[in-house]
Structure formats: structure tokens, C-alpha cells
A and B are shown apart, each in its own frame.
Chain A
Amino acid sequence: MARSVTTQRKTLNTVIAWGIGLLIFFPILWTILTSFKTEAQAIADPPVWFFFDWTLENYRVVQERSNYSRFLWNSVIIAGGSTLLGMMVAIPAAWSMAFVPSTQTKNILLWMLSTKMLPAVGVLYPIYLIFIQLGLLDSRIGLTLVLMLINLPIMVWMLYTYFKEIPGEILEAARMDGAGLRQEILYVLTPMAIPGIASTMLLNIILAWNEAFWTLNLTAARAAPLTAFIASYSSPEGLFYAKLSAASTMAIAPILIIGWFSQKQLVRGLTFGAVK
């Protein structure tokens, strides 16, 4: 009866997997559902699930009260800009660590990662002061720079593990064929590492898009991205759950759609090296 046991196990695994999946997805689902309720239904006890008067009122109000497209545009520039800028630094950095490692390479990698262990708030004060000095407060350039620097360790690490998989002999062949460093990276390494570079960029865009601590603390109005847009609906004096949910849904929709279409690439990127 070995086979039936396997089938049972499989079913059980599937049920558990779906259970965990739904558990993780639940907050997002609940946010989306709430965004279509009235404020009263949003806080109803017991909660209403699917049978309520579906309404687009919240979206209309949110759109009226604040300019969604301006926040969206800021998010796009900050997330996209920090990613592109980061790649320009991370690709050469990962190249040198993967292909011309020194005795300290491992330590540098670990040290870079250790910066991610520091609570962000620990450096808020100095960075805030630096931003005032440089006049970067509430500017898209400032935020782009900060988010780039914050995500750089992850970018370098991901690219490093990717580049490690590329046989060094191919790069040496390029060198023998007369390619300089720039040509070697541009014509040989980058095209071979496209999947890795794509998933690194994707992950970084998502991280930058959702980053709330710095975007909230270093912006006011001009450079505020979608995270600030959401935050503006969570006011302590009022109960605007439905509108907050509508704003959240609008904020996460673009990244959710990108993530959905590129999930295959993303999963491959995150598990690369671990599976092979």
C-alpha cells in the first residue's frame, strides 16, 4: 500500500502548502476586500466577508483627496532609479568579488551584509542631519541614493552568487580574445548573467517600492512615494479603514502585477545556487 500512503502524504502536503499560502496572502486579501466596503462595514463585528454592498466610493474619495499619480510617479522614480544606480555599482563589485577574489573578499561580503543587521533607526539621526546639510531632504535624488545604498548589500550578494556560477574560463577566453575589462563585462558577463541580473533588479524594485522607514522619514510632500500616500490615511483621530485599504490596494497594485508576471524569474533568482 505504499502508493496510497504517498498519495495521502501528497494531499496532506498540498493542503498544508495552500494553508500557509492563504495565511500569508490573507492580509492582502483582507485589505483588498475592505477597500470595497463602507467604513461601517469595514469595522463591523463580526466581520463581513464577501456579502456586503460592494462599492467604489473609497477609491473615488481617495482619488479626490490626494493625487495618486504624483505619488506613483515618485515611487517609480525612486524604486527604478535606486535599482539602476545600484546595478551600476553592484555589477562591477560582484564581478571583482567573484572573479578576482582577494583573501578579504569573504570578510568584505560579510561586513556588507552586517550593515543590514543595524536597525535603520540607529542611523536616522546622522543621515537626517547630512540630508539637511546637503539639502537633500524631501528630494527624489536623496531618497534614490539612500534606498540604493540600503539595498546595495543584497544586490551585490545576489549578483555574486550568480556570477560564481559562470565559469571563469569564459571570461579568461574573452581576455585572451582582446576584450578589455569594460568589454568583458558588457559583452560576455552581462549577457550570460541576464537571468540573475533581472531577478536581482526585480527584487530590488520590490524592496525599494515597499520601503517605508526612510521614505516616510525623509520626505514631506514633493518626493513622497506611495508609502507616504498610504500613511496619510492612517490618522490616529479617525477610523478610515476602508479608505486606508483603498489607498493600500492602489499602492501595491503595480508591484503586485509586476511580481505576478515575473514570479517564475523571481523564484529562480531567489533559489539560484541553492538548488543546483
Chain B
Amino acid sequence: MGRIVLDKVTKSFGDVTVIPPLDLTIEDGEFTVFVGPSGCGKSTLLRLIAGLEDVSSGAILIDGQDATSIPPAKRGLAMVFQSYALYPHMTVRKNIAFPLRMAGMDKAEQNRRVEQAADVLNLTAYLDRRPGQLSGGQRQRVAIGRAIVREPSAFLFDEPLSNLDAALRVGMRLEISEMHNRLQTTMIYVTHDQVEAMTMADKIVVLHAGHIEQVGSPLDLYRAPKNLFVAGFIGSPKMNLIEGDEARKHDAHTIGIRPEHLSVSSSEGTWSGVVGVAEHLGSDTFFHVHDTGLAETITVRVDGEISFKHGDRIYLTPRNDVMHRFDKAGDRLP
């Protein structure tokens, strides 16, 4: 079980309020991702749940029990840190067994569980090495192994993939998702990478300056961002935001159109501009279009290879059915 409820939780460091009153419920078995730019309070929030920081006010309930003043060791949660935080003086085996040893489990059972975890994580060959002798990906696996052996009620991940190179990151992302499917344990995952958020989450919590901007499934956030912040943060490349006359035509202060919701032509369209940079990814192509009179740059994403070159005139037509409209305060208009 691992249902976590934050009830009017706040956190201040001295006079600085990092998290104003915040309510959030994380259901048992859910994969929840906290996402936001750096300094938005997502890591602090995770550390509050872990118990590594004390809340300034409010309560944290784990499975209905008030855990606010329970020390981290007794909350039954496991955490994977950005720096892996392995014990450098212990072998991989001892690292993974550490939480079991702290729980006073007998040696045979410890070994059984460590070997089982090592088997799942492909670490069997490295059990007698020290963390210093492992690669980044292997260290990350050890950190995960240390978390899974104790069968926690929830896993907390603090930007666990940001120290890995791009290829490994994609691989580990899949592994963590698969692990969630297999274990069905609550997971809370902190990242600033919206791609990780979109691909892994059951539920995304978008944070900004300690506030929750929006909570929802990845597609909810993609289809109906509640405000300009979420609109700009979720989706890659970023949504194009247009103000002024063009927005007023749609009875809005700002309109948003995603790069993939624009069609291109070399002869006709609603808007026109000049191609600045063209990024050819093979599977799709991004054009950064200037001189449209709408915004400084309009980004367009088209499938496959389309040959527009730098300086070519390009015509763009937005799909009106997926256009987002926002009022002056930045909130979504129905």
C-alpha cells in the first residue's frame, strides 16, 4: 500500500516560503511525476514526503497514518538519489543489503533478496565490486536495487537519470517504467525533463514557484493545459504562443498552437514567414519560422523530410480545432 496525501503542506526556509499551502493526493500504485523548472520546489516537496525535510505546517499522511513527524527511516519509503548516493566503502552486495541489515533481517534472507534483485537488475556479476568500479548506469541500478529489496510502500526518485548520458537515459526510463508495471508500487518521480514526465507518468504534477499549476494525465496536460505556464512547459518543441490582433480574432488575449498542429505549404496558407533554422531529424523536421508578424519565432513540426531551406518563404495554416486560447491572466478559456 502507498497512498500519500499532502494536506495544506507548507515549507519555509527562514523568511523564504518555498512551498505555500499545497494539497495533493497520490493514489496507491500510481506513477506520479513532479515536473517543473529548476527552483520550483519539486525536490523540496519530495524531500518533505521522504522526511528529509520537516514541513513548516500541514500534514503528510501515508496510508491514512499521519507521518508528519515520523523520521525518514520509519516511513517505509525508499529513495533513489540523483547522485545515486551509494556507500563507497561497501561492495554492491552490502550496498543493496544495507536497508535489510538495518531492518535486522537474518543473513540468509538478506542474501536471497539481494541476489534476486541483482538478477532482475543484471548486477549479479558485480556484487563483489565497489561503487567506484562501476559505470554510471550500473551505479544507478545498484541505487534502484537498494530501493527495491526492502519492498517499500512507495519509491521516491529525485532526478535519477540526469547524470546519465542520453542513450542510457532512454534505456533506464524504460526499465523504471517496466519496474512500475511489474511491482505496481506507488512511485513519485521528480524531473525537470518534460519528456520523462510525459513518457513515464500516470499523473503529472506541474509545479511552478512552489504552486501546483496543474495535475493530470500526460494527455490531459497536452490537450488542455490549464494556463500559459503549463502550455509552455509541456510539449516538445514548445507550443507557439501568439498575442495581439491574431489572438483577438479568436476572442483571446493569447492563443497557443503546437508545432505539430501547423500545416505547411510553399504557396498558400493563413500565415507566412521565412524559414530560419531547419532541424532535420529524419523522422520529422522542425522549422523555426521568422518574420510572420505574430511572434519572434514560430516553430513548426512536420512529419518526415520536407525540403524547405534557410531563407525560403513558407506558408503556415493552424488547425483551429486544437487551438488553445488564454485570457489576460494566462488562464485557459473554454
Contacts and interface: CB of A to CB of B under 8 A. Distances in A.
Interface string B150-188: 100000100000000000000000000000000000000
Interface string A34-76: 0000000000000000000000000000000000000000000
B146 interface: yes
A192 interface: yes
Contacts of A169: 81-83, 85
A169 B81 CA distance: 7
Contact of A192 (B81, B82, B88): B88
Contacts, number: 61
Nearest to B88: A192
A178 interface: yes
A188 B99 CA distance: 12
Given A176-B72, A177-B99, A178-B103, A167 B83 contact: yes
Given A172-B52, A192-B89, A177 B102 contact: yes
A173 B85 contact: yes
Contacts of A178: 73-74, 99, 102-103, 150
Interface string A185-199: 001100110000000
Contacts of B88: 170, 192
B150 to A, nearest CB: 7
Interface string B84-128: 011111000000001100110000000000000000000000000
A255 B73 CA distance: 44
A183 B102 contact: yes
A177 B81 contact: no
A188 B79 contact: no
Contact of A175 (B52, B87, B146, B156): B52
A174 B73 CA distance: 8
Given A167-B85, A191-B89, A175 B98 contact: no
Contact of B78 (A176, A187, A191, A192): A176
A179 interface: yes
Contacts of A173: 79, 81, 85-87, 146
Nearest to B72: A175
Interface string A158-180: 00000000010110111111111
A178 B70 CA distance: 12
A169 B52 CA distance: 10
Contacts of B83: 167, 169
Interface in A184-233: 187-188, 191-192
Contacts of A174: 87, 98
Nearest to A167: B83
Most B Cβ at <10 Å: residue of A173, A180, A187, A191: A173
A169 B78 CA distance: 13
Given A172-B81, A173-B79, A179 B73 contact: yes
Nearest to A175: B72
Contacts of B82: 169
Contacts of B78: 176-177
B71 interface: yes
> Closest 3 CB pairs between A and B?
A178-B102, A173-B85, A177-B99
22 contacts: A169-B81, A170-B85, A170-B86, A170-B88, A172-B52, A172-B72, A172-B85, A173-B146, A174-B87, A175-B52, A175-B71, A175-B73, A176-B50, A177-B78, A177-B102, A177-B146, A178-B99, A178-B150, A179-B73, A179-B102, A192-B87, A192-B89
Given A169-B85, A172-B52, A176-B52, 10 more contacts: A170-B88, A173-B81, A176-B50, A176-B156, A177-B73, A178-B73, A178-B74, A178-B99, A179-B98, A187-B98
